[in-house]
């Protein structure tokens, strides 16, 4: 199995995050990858680095 690594620092100390049911972007599955080494967060669908307080839109799609 391929191990996930941080796109920013290359660390293998990453966790997959599933948003809680009360989050407007809730999805039954992983929505982002967080690096415990450098603190970077990346969206599952967009692949972009998320800012503090920012959540990955469900399926990577912005709401109208």
Q: Can you tell me whether residue 59 is helix, strand or coil?
A: helix
Residue 1 has pLDDT above 70, yes or no: no
Query: What pTM was estimated for this model as a whole?
Result: 0.88
pLDDT score recorded for residue 30: 95
Residue 63 has pLDDT above 80, yes or no: no
Please state the domain extents for the chain: 1-52
Residue with the larger pLDDT of the pair 1 and 35 = 35
Tell me the two tokens of residue 13: 């100390």
In 1-64, which ranges are E strands?
14-17, 32-35, 41-43
8-60 pLDDT, tens per residue? 999 999 999 999 999 999 999 999 999 999 999 999 999 999 999 999 999 88
Residue 3 has pLDDT above 90, yes or no: no
Reduced DSSP (H G I as helix, E B as strand, rest coil) percent helix, strand, coil of the chain, to 5: 5, 20, 75
């Amino acid at each position: 199995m391929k191990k996930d690594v941080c796109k920013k620092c290359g660390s293998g100390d990453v966790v997959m995050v599933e948003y809680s049911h009360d989050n407007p972007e809730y999805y039954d599955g992983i929505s982002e990858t967080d690096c415990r080494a450098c603190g970077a967060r990346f969206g599952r669908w967009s692949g972009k680095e998320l800012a503090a307080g920012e959540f990955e839109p469900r399926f990577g799609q912005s709401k109208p």
